[in-house]
Amino acid sequence: MAFVSEDEGMHYEGYCIRPPSEADSILLQVTLGCSHNRCTFCGTYGDKRFKIKDDKIILSDILFAAGHMQNDDRLFLMDGDALIIPQQRLMWILERIREHLPRVKRVGAYANVKSIKMKSVEELKQLRQTNLGILYYGVETGDDEIRTAIHKGSTASTCIEMGRRVKEAGIQLSVTVLLGIGGREKSLPHARATGELLSAMDPDFVGALTVMLIPGTPLYEDYVNGSFALPDEAGLLRELREMIAATDLTRGYFFSNHASNYLPVKAKLPGGKQKALDLIDAALRGEVGLKPEWMRAL
């Protein structure tokens, strides 16, 4: 169902999400759903079949934003994977944004391995020159066994390669990793492998979220039948510690301040790594309070 305001406002369809850092951005829905939509832990786009929205609708929304949101300087392209849009159409969208919303200096979008792979470095540079300034990249884990189990559809090495391609094009790279996705058994191996992946990719930002078990997803069914068990609070803290310890970034930020996490951490690496580890150690000793369960959310 499309939700349109009485004054012919933005054409949003279904449940829309965006990164926390895009909270104050103009939200322009140019695709519906996710082009991959197979990850076992994700229930976000289960109600949507992926498609690229009609250019007339997209232009209508840009013009509405131009009339009502002229003071906003950032814009985010929804839904799950706007980068999958063919290059010529995506350039047209970015050019219309620049034409009608001249104050917008940075456009962001979600990306995955498949969509980045479909763009050459030169094409990504073209997008960068038309204000695509940041891509949000769902990495989840650096462990190939876990990547296969959760149906990521790519290996860690390919994931690294695509992340480097974004960086080479001059686009900021913000990656998401999942605490708990390896379950109790593979918690620490997952953390170490993910830290190694992050070190090899060297993104600008890392956001660590904690897996939330969502009814209706394959991972939730694994939890119900006993084949998957999340680490407890202390286990998740140890996992976060191991991941940060294994991560070496040139000049990036590592965050675990998402609503799903028990302990908010914000560290600028490499200099802030030890302070972050000390905070986690203090929490493990019970000297720092954790977020209560009722406050945690996606």
For residue 293, tell me if it sits in a domain: no
Answer yes or no: pTM beyond 0.75. Answer: yes
CATH classification of the domain holding 118: 3.80.30.20
Rounded Cα–Cα distance for residues 235 and 203 (Å):
26
For the chain, the residue count is: 298
Question: Is 145 within the bounds of a domain?
Answer: yes
Assigned domain for 295 exists: no
The first and second tokens of residue 221, run together, are: 């069914």
Residue pair 43/217 in contact (Cβ under 8 Å)? The answer is: yes
What is the rounded CA–CA span in Å between residue 164 and residue 156?
A: 12
- Residue 227 burial (CB < 10 Å; 0-12/13-18/19+)? exposed
In a domain, 270, yes or no: yes
Q: Is residue 296 part of a domain?
A: no
pLDDT value of residue 155: 98
Q: Which residues have C-beta within 8 Å of that of residue 274, sequence separation ≥ 6?
A: none
* CA–CA distance, 97 with 126 (Å, rounded to integer): 15
Helical axes 233-245 vs 273-284, angle rounded to 10°: 160
pLDDT at 230: 96
Question: First vs last Cα of the chain: how many Å apart?
Answer: 23
How far CA 48 is from CA of 5, 15, 26, 45, in Å, comes to 21, 9, 22, 5
Residue 5's pLDDT is 39
Q: What six digits make up the tokens of 147?
A: 């990547």
Please report the pLDDT score of residue 294 as a whole number.
Answer: 87
Distance CA(160)–CA(142), nearest Å, equals 9
Residue 1 lies in a domain: no
Residues 6+ apart with CB under 8 A from 275: 267
Pairing of strands 74-78, 106-111: parallel
User: Mind listing the pLDDT tens digit for each residue in 245-260?
Assistant: 999 999 999 999 888 9
DSSP string, 47-68: T---EEPPHHHHHHHHHHHHHH
Which segments of the chain have a pLDDT < 50?
1-7
Task: For the chain, give the mean pLDDT.
Answer: 93
In 112-184 the beta strands, taken as DSSP E runs, fall at: 132-140, 172-179
Instruction: Give the total number of structural domains in the chain.
Output: 1
Supply the Cα-derived Rg of the chain in whole angstroms: 19
User: Is residue 149, in this structure, part of any structural domain at all?
Assistant: yes
pLDDT given for residue 15 in this prediction: 77
Domain membership flag for residue 298: no
Q: Residues 203, 239, 81, 8: is their CA dihedral positive or negative?
A: negative
* pLDDT given for residue 50 in this prediction: 86
Domain that holds residue 134: 7-288
